[in-house]
Amino acid sequence: NREIHLVSRPDGWPTPENFRLVTTEVPTPGPGQVVVRNRFMSVDPYMRGRMNDVKSYVPPFALDAPLDGGAIGEVVAGEAGGVKPGDVVLHGLGWREYALVDARGARKVDPDLAPVTAYLGVLGMTGLTAYAGLLDVAAMKPGETVFVSGAAGAVGSMVGQIAKLRGAGRVIGSAGSRAKVERLTALGFDAAFDYHDGPVSKQLRAAAPDGVDVYFDNVGGDHLEAAIGAMNLHGRAAICGMIAQYNATEPPAAPRNLALVIGKRLTLRGFLVSDHGHLREQFVQEVAGWLREGRLSYDETVIDGIEQAPEAFLGLLRGENLGKMLVRL
């Protein structure tokens, strides 16, 4: 078994030296446990926060121990809680080839219903984040104009498409390259821009001449400032992530225009997907339906090998992914 340990805490941008590939014995299951041969693991932006030794909504990663996170694989040993060898399960012990999982923390999935990677992305955590943030937190209504940052990523690409499918009037996305902007247009976004091409506020105003009703924030900083500036009276923002500052060593300079929240009566609401589990059934039904009908597409960027997992994570922070970033083990 090979696994990735965190051996030091990054200051600013993580480097390969913060991680180590460690070889251990394949575990043996005890009572209530199963051993899973992981096939795919997720790398996610929130993992950067867990590399810091600070109190947050999830505890920090321990040093000299394997990292963890969403993973999917097949049970190879042990039988407990209705889970048995051969079953494909979703669980929280990624960053290793073999995981010793408490059967209560393993959720059986049907590999015939969708490709197994879907359960880590479009039908999994990132898909639910998009669905819950847009429809529940920001309460998007048909006809409204929606702006989403980080729009070519796992969450953002779902936000834009779900908005269109649920009747948004106009959907605008921002992303970090020309190729990503072209992809957004192909996915049905009404307008998209590369935030490197000029000030976000200027590009957003051009793309949304009638203003923005709903902003789905994945980025923070100048994107949030631009959105506040462009938002219409009673606009709502679902504050999902602020990836522009995850590696920052200084407090962010933007947004500088928060006072506009008052006059425009804006709602800026932070949320965690973990509080929206009650929507999971409805979300899976609706999104799986759109997938079956070919009305919704999703991208995945797959990196091969456990030894490449730190590089995949770094690539995610650098924006090298289109859609969901995954590691195949």
155 binds ligand NDP (CB under 6 A): yes
Place of tokens 């390969």: 16
129 binds ligand NDP (CB under 6 A): yes
Site string for ligand NDP, 219-238 (x = CB under 6 A): x-------------------
177 binds ligand NDP (CB under 6 A): yes
3-state secondary structure labels for all residues of the chain: CEEEEECCCCCCCCCHHHEEEEECCCCCCCCCEEEEEEEEEECCCHHHHHCCCCCCCCCCCCCCEECCECEEEEEEECCECCECCCCEEEECECCECEEEEEHHHCEECCCCCCCHHHHHCCCCHHHHHHHHHHHHHCCCCCCCEEEECCCCEHHHHHHHHHHHHCCCCEEEEEECCHHHHHHHHHCCCCEEEEHHHCCHHHHHHHHCCCCEEEEEECCCHHHHHHHHHHEEEEEEEEECCCHHHCCCCCCCCCCCCCCHHHHCCCEEEECCHHHHHHHHHHHHHHHHHHHHCCCCCCCEEEEECHHHHHHHHHHHHHCCCCEEEEEEC
34-63 positions binding ligand NDP, by CB under 6 A: 44-46
Residue (106 or 181) nearer to ligand NDP, CB: 181
126 binds ligand NDP (CB under 6 A): yes
Distance, in Å, from the CA atom of 215 to the CA atom of 64, rounded to the nearest integer, reads 39
Site string for ligand NDP, 84-123 (x = CB under 6 A): ----------------------------------------
Residue (169 or 252) nearer to ligand NDP, CB: 252
In angstroms, what is the minimal distance from the CB of 219 to ligand NDP? 4
In angstroms, what is the minimal distance from the CB of 208 to ligand NDP? 18
In angstroms, what is the minimal distance from the CB of 69 to ligand NDP? 11
Distance, in Å, from the CA atom of 42 to the CA atom of 56, rounded to the nearest integer, reads 20
127 binds ligand NDP (CB under 6 A): no
150 binds ligand NDP (CB under 6 A): yes
279 binds ligand NDP (CB under 6 A): no
314 binds ligand NDP (CB under 6 A): no
297 binds ligand NDP (CB under 6 A): no
73 binds ligand NDP (CB under 6 A): no
Place of tokens 């059934």: 281
User: Segment contacting ligand NDP (CB under 6 A): 15-23, 88-96, 111-119, 151-159?
Assistant: 151-159
135 binds ligand NDP (CB under 6 A): no
244 binds ligand NDP (CB under 6 A): yes
Applying CB under 6 A, the residues found at the interface with ligand NDP are: 44-46, 126, 129, 150, 152-156, 175-177, 180, 218-219, 240-241, 243-244, 271-273, 316-317, 319, 321, 325
